[in-house]
Structure 1
Amino acid sequence: MTDETAAPDGDRLRRLIGGEDMAWLVDRARRRIARDAPLTGTVTLTAPTQEQRRALAVLLGRRPATGASLTVNLRDVDELLRATGHGGLAAAITALTGPVDSLSDRRLRTETAWRDAYRPLEDAVADRPELASWRSWLDTTGLPRRLAPDPADAAVLLAGLAAVLSRLPSPSIPLGRLAAETCGDAHALDDGRPLATLALSAVRALAGRPFTTEPAAESRRATWASVGVHLDELSSTVLTLGLTPDPATPLGAVLSAHNTAGEPACLTLRQLRRHPAPIPVARVHLCENPVVIAAAADDLGPACPPLICIGGRPSAAVWRLLTLLGDGGATFLYHGDFDWGGVAIASSLHTRVGFIPWRYTAADYLAAPSGGPLTGRPLPTPWSPPLTTAMTSRATRVEEELLLDTLLTDLRTFDPGISTG
């Protein structure tokens, strides 16, 4: 905005417009520069003093104006200052009062600050296509800017988010430890904290789920568990029947006692994290609902082959147990509800550990008795691609309980060398 064609003479300039009686004019001009508005048109001072009238008259070489207000054309002042070697009104204002922080300057600084704030996050998602839609969603919703309106605060928040994402998914880590190691604050990922809000939305993206918030504690627990993060070691559990790890280990001793009695065992994440060795089992059946475990215990007792209940969205304990079994060479056979929620659970398992469908194909669905109406959004079923089409067409949900007798028969006659499907 400043015309640099001439360097204003400081002393002379102060005599012209630098006095107290011309301060109102200097202030009006400076505010226009700050708004990137042109120094044209008129400005008016109401109820001027006689000194203010005389000062303006001296500047413009005119008789003092009369009337209730004092009006001056800024272009006249600009031309006069140029003619007297002061480079124009904008240059004079800068010489008298210092550089003006214009609106365009402030906008540029703000835009630069926001770009800098987002840079760690951009680097963190650059090679992760599974987060591309989520990153666009952040811009669409403006969530980071709502959580941290100041770019300096946002820079700290987004740097923490990038650090968290760099550790996910994790084989197994407590939430507080993840927060402490990435952000220097063990409570940074506590429920309700801005970083937790952003991180949870990213975790949902990693799990292939909607980015919107899920306020229920169990949903939050399951969401973190999907990337190997647990809120605590005791409340995260997994229900099992028929598992037989080394009885010389603490975990093996617990399971051996349950197996002898033919009773299910509810294992905590703490127990599983303290079992360092893989669990060598050839094949393991997985079900979605605890009713299958209870019925198998009643019907088969100690004769039940290894059976694990996923219990809805897999907990951190579920993932830990499946990792131990997978490391031991296990092959998984999975059955779940024939509804879109069940398909989402199966998809997370299929992606992470893989499985052979156990009565969980399109043919099994079409042969099953009808349940209630099927609602929700269709999802792909890569373990049986025709299943999505069959479920969409039939539009009936089939819960696991409706196939309980068939599942128990499979368990009763199970041969580890033969696939059930």
Structure 2
Amino acid sequence: MGPAPAEARTDVDTERLGRLLGDPGLTWFVDRVRQRMARGRPLTGSVTLSAPEESQRRAAERLLGRAPRTSGSLGIRLDTVDEILRRSGVSPGGLAAAVVALAGPVVLHAETRNREEQAWEEAYAPLGILDAELAHWAERIRGDGLVRRLARTPEAAVPLVEAAVRALRALPASPPTSRATFAARNLSGAHALDEGTPLATLVLSGIRCLTGFPDGSGAQWRREAWASAGLLKDDLSSTVLTLNLRGTPALAWMADAGEPTVLTLRSLTGRAPVAPGLAGTVHICENPAVLSAAADTLGRECPPMVCIQGQPSAAALTLLRDQSSRGARLLCHGDFDWGGVRIATALARSVPWRPWRYTAAEYRAAATAVVGAPNLTGLPAATPWDPALAVALAECGVRVEEEMVLNDLLTDLGTGSR
């Protein structure tokens, strides 16, 4: 006997069939047959009920025309039932046609799976309109099961993916804003991106790809990851360390004293933006020790500096975007290690910068000069501004922190070179 017919046959004697197979005592039998048909298995051999009730034994007796065993399990041969149905004229098409006539069409499991996969593909369709920089993320979430875990069904995935795409296309937010405000403007309401919601989880995953924010965990890490795309918990917790920037009386006072200044995001978005120094160049470093040493050594004579302190905060990105839009030339240095180059690459996604002693040649010279430099650890990363730097890092295999080349950096700052 072949696979299940798509529709009930018209030559089935439904009244007699109801008396034979429609007995409640044979419901288990019909269900077993349908399961076999759904799997595409032939209707041969036997089906067995391990602990039948008396009503089920009597129903089997009426179907087969003889009494089955009076104790133990109840077995019914499918070939026998098929022959009975054909010979009696109840179902000339046999058992498969009878089951379809009695309980409706049987959908093969393979067809069900195909329809479900097609529904998932349709749910993922909005990912196709994302920018190229999110193409890798879009491809990854199609295969890693994140959306399926969050949404459970294709029907629930459709609005989830659509909302995530809508949010990601509006990022990074410039100027930075609170998550609630962003959600109210772009999504279903102010709480759409609340912590723990499926949409927040999916959007945060996309943000990490968009901004290059590194792996991590915990509440602070999540706040910083959101902030990397300009979405903030508030406008005071995001700060940036600077030296000798001007533009407001307070900044001018600190610059005249040659003292470092911590700016909040609020001060950058709610007040007059700072202006670039007279030389039109802003030096960017990764570690506070460099900026502190510059303040100690050069004081008010030091050119404007910004310290990003690891992954750039929303305040740092806001400041640097403003500087760049006003024509400032941004020069960037960082640790010579895989983490440092990832930070620099992430920064380049938000603002254009040129390397400040941050090339393969500078690294090779430092790696040779520094005694006892620690081994390089972590996964390699690309260095788009100087592809040879990634090659040099892999070959030399040592980490050179900014503090190890501090004298060279201070010399540049003191002479205004680079």
Paired position in structure 1 for 2:120 = 114
Q: 1:72 to 1:401 in 2, by over 3 A?
A: closer
The answer to whether the 8 A contact 1:44-1:72 is kept is: yes
Q: Percent identity?
A: 47
Question: Contact conserved, 1:261 with 1:302, CA < 8 A, in 2?
Answer: yes
CA distance change for structure 1 residues 352 and 57 in 2, over 3 Å: closer, same or farther? closer
**Contact 2:324–2:352 (CA<8 Å) still a contact in 1?**
no
Residues 221, 315 of structure 1: 8 Å contact kept? no
Give distance in 1, aligned partners of 2:245 and 2:82: 90
1:273 corresponds to which letter in structure 2? T
Separation in 1, partners of 2:66, 2:300 = 113
Tell me the SS of whatever aligns to 2:190.
coil
**Kindly tell me: are residues 15 and 384 of structure 1, through their superposed partners in 2, closer, same or farther at Cα, counting changes over 3 Å?**
closer
Q: Secondary structure at the match of 1:169?
A: coil
- 2:211 aligns to what? 207
* 2:339 equivalent in structure 1: 341
CA contact (8 A) 2:245 2:276 kept: no
Pairwise CA distance, 1:344: 1.8
Structure 2 residue 7 is the aligned partner of structure 1 residue 6 = no
CA 1:403 to 1:71, structure 2 compared with 1: closer, same or farther past 3 Å?
closer
Q: Distance in 1 between matches of 2:397 and 2:61?
A: 87
**Deviation of 1:139 (Å):** 4.1
Candidates 197, 201, 218, aligned match of 2:201 = 197
- Indicate conservation of the 8 Å contact 1:241/1:306, yes or no: yes
Does structure 2 retain, via aligned residues, the 8 Å contact 1:332–1:354?
Answer: yes
Deviation, 1:215, is 0.2
How much has 1:301 moved relative to structure 2?
Answer: 2.6
Match of 2:352 among 354, 374, 377: 354
| Distance apart, 1:320 and its partner CA | 0.5
- Between the aligned partners of 2:263 and 2:308, the Cα distance in structure 1 is 12
Aligned to 2:409: 407
Shift of 1:49: 4.4
Structure 1 residues 14-413: aligned runs within 5 Å: 14-20=18-24, 22-44=26-48, 49=54, 53=58, 59=63, 62=65, 64=67, 67-68=70-71, 71-83=75-87, 84=89, 86=91, 87-100=93-106, 102-121=108-127, 123-125=128-130, 128-171=131-174, 172-208=176-212, 213-245=215-247, 252-275=248-271, 279-281=275-277, 282-368=280-366, 369-370=369-370, 371-413=373-415
Counterpart AA for 2:216: E
Is the 2:57–2:68 contact (alpha carbons within 8 Å) kept by the matching residues of 1? no
Alpha carbons 2:244, 2:303 under 8 Å: kept: yes
Unaligned runs of 5+ in 1: 246-251, 415-419
Superimposed CA distance per residue, residues 243-292 of structure 1 (whole angstroms, 9 cap, x where no aligned partner): 122xxxxxx12212222332221111111112466835411111211122
State how far apart, in whole Å, the 2-side matches of 1:71 and 1:402 are: 83
CA distance in 2, matches of 1:296, 1:91: 88
Where does residue 417 of structure 1 map in the other structure?
A: none
- Summarize deviations over 1:73-97 as a string: whole Å, max 9, x none: 3223223334415343233333333
**How far apart are residue 394 of structure 1 and its match?**
3.0
> Secondary structure of 1:238's partner?
strand
Structure-2 change in CA distance of 1:47 and 1:306 (3 Å): closer
**Aligned equivalents of 2:76, 2:167: Cα separation in 1:** 60
Q: In the aligned structure 2, how far is the partner of 1:349 from the partner of 1:47?
A: 71
Offset from partner CA, 1:271-324 (integer Å, 9 cap, x none): 111246683541111121112222222233333221111211111111100111
Q: CA deviation at 1:389?
A: 3.4
SS of 1:77's partner is: helix
Change in CA separation of 1:319 and 1:75 when aligned onto 2, cut-off 3 Å: same
Deviates more, 1:387-396 or 1:335-344: 387-396
Report the AA paired with residue 266 of structure 1: V
In the alignment, structure 2 segments of 5+ residues that lack a partner are none
Greater Cα shift, 153-162 or 258-267: 153-162
Distance 2:341 2:47 in 1: 70
| Distance change >3 Å, CA 178–CA 341, structure 1 → 2 | same
Is contact 1:278–1:328 with CA below 8 Å preserved after alignment? no
Matches of 2:411 and 2:56, distance apart in 1: 106
Letter in 2 for 1:196: A
Q: Pairwise CA RMSD of aligned residues?
A: 3.1
CA contact (8 A) 1:279 1:327 kept: no
Cα contact 2:281–2:328 (8 A) shared by 1: yes
- TM-score, normalised on structure 1? 0.82
CA distance in 1 between counterparts of 2:169 and 2:142 reads 20
Runs of 4+ in 1 over 6 A off after TM superposition: none
Q: Give the AA of the match of 1:227.
A: A
Q: CA deviation at 1:342?
A: 1.7
Cα displacement (A) at 1:339 = 2.0
| Distance in structure 1 (CA, Å) of the matches to 2:185 and 2:55 | 69
Task: For residues 190-216 of structure 1, give each alpha carbon's deviation from its aligned partner in whole angstroms, at most 9, with x where no partner exists.
Answer: 444433333233222223466xx4104
Name the TM-score, length of structure 2 as normaliser.
0.83
Distance 1:296 1:78 in 2: 93
C-alpha separation in 2, matches of 1:18 and 1:38 = 22
- Separation (CA, whole Å) in 2 of partners of 1:312 and 1:25: 67
Distance in 2, matches of 1:331 and 1:91, equals 79
In 2, Cα distance between the equivalents of 1:261 and 1:327?
A: 27
Aligned residues: 403
Cα distance change on mapping 1:276 and 1:24 into 2, 3 Å: same
